[in-house]
Structure 1
């Protein structure tokens, strides 16, 4: 869903800040805000959302690549945990952010058909198997939970690993725990993306760590940071602002004087019930009708694509190193799984 991907922008930006280590720069002038509004061609007028990829998606791992990396990682983590006396399920756990990006998401701001809005409001549609445990989400067993967390991640709620001398069962806990050890092994020989050393890719205040210590997600977070930055520029673009103003007028005429999409979709009253109330459904139907009236989907898609393309132009060298990093980790994963 296109607008669901818009809703994900804030999420991935936060993820990038929290996990993208040292990823604070780009190639080219790195100051897209100084270049003025992007040029766009003919704006489409879709009447339904799509899962069409955005330009920066080409630099994220494909589903097949991510599955290969996660399979190898799960085996490495399980083997490492066994050294310390813990049984840990060797089952891959998909990256939740990448999974949401690929699916388009099911966020509150997602566009849905009028019939779905009338049925579910802003609540998520029920899915088969809902409530079942996610594959690979089983907990480790075999001892004290705090110690298990220390071995798994290098820290726990009760004990943060203070030095390389921390030991469990007479063995030194790896830097970053078994997860860090697995990521380091998968990243062996993988080029660390050159982010140029400026402070332009990530928002101010991003942690200054090396990409190699970012739990294996530094390269991905570099792309997510650019996605978030492009999305931020879209919301400031005059064409987007004018479109949202049109949406506000439409909603007011329909009897819903609201100031933003999030004010409509994330009204606290909607969370008071596990299912949509009639008022929520009515609001959602008006919302979707007004989005179509102002061509929200078409304008959002055109601007998001254009600003992401600008990000690619300004950060091409770094993005190519991200792609090379992914390819190297996939190659290592295949070798570890006996497939390469």
Structure 2
């Protein structure tokens, strides 16, 4: 067998994850509320290192995610062996180096002065493990028949009742192939499970709502005005590179470093991080109140999923 790029397999994995998200989820935010939540005292802060959020209590940690991914890879591999293929699903490489929370853009003055806007500075992912080239039969086993017209199963229980119409080595190919069987085994073994992306969607929804909050909008305007005083016309604090006339080849150049240093200084002057963090936290708390029952179910299912993963990963 010849090596195959791991990236293609990771893309297949991502597709399986995205397809598995329930269409019934509205992003976790429910109907939301037009009224902006109360926030109390706003702290002055700039660093995002070590920040915690209310929804962290329900989120999957990096270590837990790794364990779940390992279990999914094992189930996928075992499924492929049923069809005569010795296939190892590559795991997402762990990224070394700095891991700053960049949800509010660049906030570290030391990093700005040294790297400008260069992302993932110092991070060198380890080489991906070799896998296999798959012919038509192998691709069929891995991803299922491409001509299957029915809806994708949303649980392992449902998948076992569906017929893809294809077989290999005298065995039926699962709808969605082994990669979907692996996903459903770990994330949705039974009907009625909470969407595995529910907490993530709720977190993203809170961030999106906070970005439109009048208090954050005012802070962004203050940051933008500060930048304008130094000759920079920008209104996007998270990703100002384009407005600054930068491209990936110049993110670490002198122009970028000068702008990055001013960016951080203006965030500190406007207390953008303190305001945004406080407002986003308030939206997360509201999301928890509106979705308490579902979040508790998601937490219970995560614990059950981790127990299952421990038995599957070997």
Q: TM-score range by the shorter chain?
A: 0.7 to 0.9
Partner of 2:83: 84
Contact kept in structure 2, 1:86 and 1:148, CA below 8 Å:
yes
On the 8 A contact 1:190/1:328 being kept in 2, the answer is no
Residue among 89, 113, 120 paired with 2:115: 120
Residue by residue over 1:225-280, the C-alpha shift from the partner in whole angstroms, topping out at 9 and shown as x without a partner, is: 11121112111111101101101110110111222225623448432516522111
Flag the 1:42–1:18 CA change in 2: closer, same or farther, 3 A.
farther
TM-score (norm: length of structure 1): 0.73
Assess if the C-alpha contact under 8 Å between 2:106 and 2:264 holds in 1. yes
Report what 1:291 is aligned to: 267
SS at match of 1:188: coil
**1-structure distance, mates of 2:169, 2:244:** 49
Q: Tell me the CA shift for residue 125 of structure 1.
A: 4.6
The 10-residue stretch of structure 1 (271-280 or 44-53) with the greater mean CA deviation from structure 2: 271-280
Q: Which is bigger in relative contact order (C-alpha 8 A, separation at least 6)? A: 1
Alpha-carbon separation, structure 1, partners of 2:144 and 2:244:
38
For residues 312 and 16 of structure 1, what CA distance do their matches in structure 2 show? Answer: 24
User: Is residue 134 of structure 2 the alignment partner of residue 139 of structure 1?
Assistant: no
| CA distance in structure 2 between the aligned counterparts of 1:86 and 1:274, rounded to whole angstroms | 45
Instruction: Identify which of 287, 299, 305 aligns with 1:311.
Output: 287
The equivalent residue for 1:204 is none
Distance 1:151 1:333, change over 3 A: same
CA deviations 1:115-143 (Å, max 9, x no partner) are: 32122111125325x26424xx54334x4
1:336 aligns to 2:312 (yes or no): yes
Q: Distance in 2 between matches of 1:43 and 1:237?
A: 15
1:64 to partner: Cα distance: 3.6
In 2: Cα distance, 1:249 partner to 1:91 partner: 47
In 2, are the aligned partners of 1:264 and 1:283 still within 8 Å (CA)?
Answer: no
State the partner residue of 1:185.
185
Aligned to 1:43: 42
| Aligned equivalents of 1:59, 1:117: Cα separation in 2 | 32
Matching residue within 230, 249, 254 for 1:278: 254
Alignment partner of 1:251 is 2:227: yes
Count, aligned residues: 284
Take 1:55 and 1:225, find their aligned partners in 2: how far apart are those partners? 14
8 Å CA contact 1:250, 1:290 repeated in 2: yes
Superposed CA RMSD in Å reads 3.2
- Structure-2 separation of matches of 1:270 and 1:18: 35
Structure 1 gaps of 5+ residues are: 1-14, 194-217
Taking structure 1 as reference, are residues 38 and 106 closer, same or farther at Cα in structure 2, changes over 3 Å only? closer
Q: Deviations over 1:174-233 (max 9, x none)?
A: 12211221233334358512xxxxxxxxxxxxxxxxxxxxxxxx32x1112111211121
Question: Could you tell me how far apart the structure 2 residues matched to 1:183 and 1:16 are?
Answer: 7
User: Does the Cα contact within 8 Å between 2:85 and 2:138 map onto a contact in 1?
Assistant: yes
Supply the distance in 2 between the matched residues of 1:70 and 1:249 (Cα, whole angstroms): 45
| CA distance in 2 between partners of 1:82 and 1:308 (Å) | 44
Q: Quote the Cα distance in structure 2 between the aligned partners of 1:324 and 1:265.
A: 42
Question: In the aligned structure 1, how far is the partner of 2:311 from the partner of 2:117?
Answer: 45
1:61–1:19 Cα change, 3 Å: same
- Which residue of the partner structure matches residue 63 of structure 1? 62
C-alpha separation in 2, matches of 1:104 and 1:263: 15
Unaligned runs of 5+ in 2: 1-15, 150-162
